[in-house]
Amino acid sequence: MRKSLLALVCLFLFATGKGVTGEPHIVKEDERVSMDSLWLRTKLATEKATIFCDRTSPTIALTVQELENYWRGAPVWLCLSKANEIHRLKTDGYRLTATPGQIKITAFTEQGLLYGAFHLLRLQTTNQLEPTFQIEESPDYDIRILNHWDNLNRTVERGYAGYSIWEWDKLPDSISPRYRAYGRLNASIGINATVLNNVNAPAKVLSADMLKKVKVIADELRPYHIRVFLSVNFSSPAALGGLPTSDPLNKEVIGWWKAKVKEIYQLIPDFGGFLVKANSEGLPGPQDYGRTHADGANMLADALRPYKGIVMWRAFVYNPSNEDRAKQAYSEFKPLDGQFRENVIIQVKNGPVDFQPREPFSPLFGAMRQTPLMPELQITQEYLGFSNHLVFLASQWEEFFNSDTYCNGAGSTVAKTTDGTFFNPQLTAIAGVANIGADANWCGHYFAQANWYAFGRMAWNNQLTAATIADEWIRMTFTSDPEFLDPVRSMMLDSYETAVNYMMPLGLHHLFAWEHHYGPEPWTDIPGARPDWLPSYYHQANKDGIGFDRTTAGSNAVSQYFSPLREEFNDLTTCPEKFLLWFHHIPWSYTMKNGQPFWDTLCYTYDNGVQKVREFQKVWDRTEGLIDETRFRHVQSRLKIQARDAVWWKDACLLYFQTFSGLPIPYNIERPVHELDDLMKIKLDLKHHN
């Protein structure tokens, strides 16, 4: 067993992208393919396409260049239009029209032309062009933003693809070509904003020297119409400005922020605004001074308003409390509905706890009718196997967007409560926590690139299906050969449910190891730790059963949802089984819908996850020779790790929970290959929080 434990530790070092020297692991792709292509792999056209446009600007020049290099069809006309000609479109929208002999891209703005050009090239690459067509596209969200959790020393919190792409130590004098490549990739999927730094922000990011560095990045991204935002520390007036307080109602503090904002906009005229994490996980905030989240957000919003900047105020709060952690964001923010300035938007994680493999949607969606909310999705796989596991997150996000809040009756989906369909907010936005790093393949795992791509596509159109996006991405990134496309698409679409099954099925959540979030540790007991930092707080396993009782007889978290959803969750017989242990503490012998006892179903579900990953290995091995060897070998290697990790998860969870159930693991599934005592000795030293 000692050898097995060592193997697991080595696997973990590989998973974090670090070897024994602590240097980032770099995976090199086939030299015949550009490192910065990702899904933009269309071959250069043999002849320059004919492109007509009567305007010029840096953005239009980029648009023309993309089409000249890669378009292989009829001449293309780029037309900036007046509102009455394409009145149905939003600011970033566009119309594509194909008639015999020409293509016309029409938009209100130059960024609309750029997005339209990338759409046209996508149709070409995915073999979806028709002889004649008219397509109109407008984004569902005004701001489609990546949140980088990148630190100023270039480490990346919850990042698994090497160091940050922002080379702060070399800026402003040296400019990486990756900044422009980053802009191009994001523009190709409609992303129009980025937060450069970690939400756990030091005050230093607002120093004059740092702002000069930020300006350079903003200048590089501007032609792609990507606005730069910064995460800020709420105590900056005291920590950076030397004031005795950072009280948001103090006149000197208000003056300091106004002066700092003016300084920023003098350097970066199109600066987007601030992202703020306050009074959460020990970070400072307005509550330190007896003020509310609204007081703090509004003070910053007032400073930004003259420049059309916005405040994205995170609702991720869970200070020490006896209240169920799943209820805390709702409890803090729902009473403040209607008290925020128009240029404040509340950023809410998709679920009420913390980016778990599966959560019900946060009850804040639909509940705050007078305050715009922006979903926060996690692209980086903090809780889903880092850059080792192939997990296509579009399936998770499709489930999230289509969840019915019932806030306006049936059909009031999360998508409609956030994209302006309901409530008519001044501003709509969506954020994705980036999985980008300095590794040669950008994301640590070639299939992790699909999650970056999927976020951009769903931020533009929240009704796109995971199947559609997977099909697009495979065709653009690898090949349209059905021998590769069909099985790999099926694998991607199965991957999310598979990961849930071998990690935390049936509503289990937060069983991760202490400090890092890679492997299982449902037994963790750290003396002096807050209860809501420990897995036992969530699984509540004992001899009688397992699960967190959030019914009216328990924490009453169900009351934060609208009827009839609250009643559905509250009733053990109607609660969806995928959320069963999220809302109920149930007996080990409880009869499931399949007629089996709960314990047996739990065991079969874990085993199904393991067996499915092994099927993924077979699917992938059959593709050898259909793509370049570098990417094939890389994914093959990672699938081996994922298969071993799935067994680790299954054995750890079932052997541990068996100590409470006292029941045998069904004999017709794969037997555990580890001993529980050995698994409990594994301690991996990696300290990250967010």
Catalytic residues: 281, 354, 382
Residues in a beta bridge with 134: 97
Give 101: exposed, middle or buried? Use CB within 10 Å, 0-12, 13-18, 19+.
Answer: exposed
User: Which residues fall within 8 angstroms of residue 16, CB to CB, at 6 or more apart?
Assistant: 160, 386, 516, 518, 686
Q: In what order do the strands lie in the sheet with 76-80?
A: 51-53, 76-80, 102-107, 94-99, 133-137
Rounded CA gap, 485 and 468, in Å? Answer: 12
Q: Using the 8-state DSSP alphabet, how is residue 404 labeled?
A: B
Exposure string (b/e) for 468-485, b if CB count within 10 Å is 16 or more? ebbbbbbbbbbbeeeebb
Rounded CA gap, 385 and 15, in Å? Answer: 8
| Residue pointed to by tokens 């349209």 | 480
Of 384, 326, 296, residue with least CA distance to 547: 326
Q: Are 510 and 408 in contact (CB under 8 A)?
A: no
Of 340, 366, 352, residue with least CA distance to 421: 366
Rounded CA gap, 328 and 656, in Å? Answer: 29
Rg of the Cα trace of the chain? 25
Of 682, 616, 619, residue with least CA distance to 649: 682
Give strand ranges (E) for 211-270. 227-232
Rounded CA gap, 201 and 190, in Å? Answer: 27
Q: How far is CA 6 from CA 152, 385, 672, 673, in A?
A: 33, 18, 18, 15
Rounded CA gap, 518 and 427, in Å? Answer: 36
